[in-house]
Amino acid sequence: MLNNKSILITGGTGSFGKAFVRTVLEKFPEVDRLVIYSRDELKQFEMSQVFNDKVHKGIRYFIGDVRDQDRLRRALEGIDIVVHAAALKQVPAAEYNPFECIKTNVLGAQNLIEACLDSKVQRVVALSTDKAAAPINLYGATKLCSDKLFVAANNIQGERGIRFSVVRYGNVMGSRGSVIPFFLDRRSSGVLPITDARMTRFNISLQEGVDMVLWSIENAEGGEILVPKIPSYRITDVAKAIGPECRQEIIGIRPGEKIHEEMITASDSFNTVDMGDYYAILPQAANYTFAEYCERRGGKPVEPGFAYDSGSNPDFLSVEQMRELIESHVIGKSID
């Protein structure tokens, strides 16, 4: 799939970018070029200590910002596939600096779309977030707007053959700013703060996210928002898994935070296809019909009014399952 192809990943020095590069090099050793595009030269330097032209002759580091369309055009020369992971993601920072978030997440998305249309790129996969479904904070609103831009870009592809699609999933297990590393740091105090005892979240590992993007590169027809079927967990169960002896202290929900993660709203149900491991939210305007897509992909429409959120998800992880996942995916050793 990716052998002899040139790939660019925006925001490529983040956790996802590192895992994506590692996976591509392992699975597709004949990949032509892997271009890591980001604006932080220190992170690029640190990443280049692990991934460099000694590891693979096609590794390249390109300093640039998605706000700079000219720089994007230069970086996209000779690129076949783009993975868009660059974004401003911190909810409080977005609320305090709203237009800075808009410039990166919305205007940056449109810059990338236009630069891809002006180049010979064939596939674009943009990373989204659960917060884009029925958003209640600015970050979620900007990602919803970004999703709409990437979906609509398929309407102006002309004769280019380029396909734009979106992958939407929630917080990655153990990622920076998530609750698991926070609890691991705080358990020695004997108290773990819980915002709301009812709170649930979806659970996805970094590798599962990478694998889904690779699947999308190969299989997406353009215009879909792809959502994985993944288990949920209760925040109180995570606390029990990490600090079974710790006292749980309820501190109240934070601004812009939901009790449950949403990935498909009831309003989306009329355009959503169940594809087995994934759901696909189809665009209302596309070069294929709903029935054609289902027939080609072997999918079936979900029930009208169907919604997919971490609270109503039938698949929940137990305390012991959470403990095993944290040990294997986050800290690499026994919690005890």
Catalytic (active-site) positions? 131
Counted residue by residue, the chain has a size of 336
Residue 104 token pair = 């990166």
Round to whole Å and give the CA distance between 290 and 285: 10
Which amino acid type is present at position 36?
Answer: I
Write the CB contacts of 86 (distance below 8 Å, at least 6 apart in sequence).
10, 11, 37, 38, 66, 104, 108
- DSSP-assigned letter for residue 270: G
Phi, psi of 137, rounded to the nearest 5 degrees? -135, 165
Residue 269 token pair = 């149900």
Pinpoint the alpha helices (H) of the chain.
15-27, 41-48, 69-75, 91-96, 98-102, 108-117, 138-152, 179-186, 206-219, 235-242, 290-297, 319-326
In Å, what is the CA distance from 287 to each residue of 145, 254, 284? 21, 42, 10
Helices (H) and strands (E) in the chain, counts: 12, 16
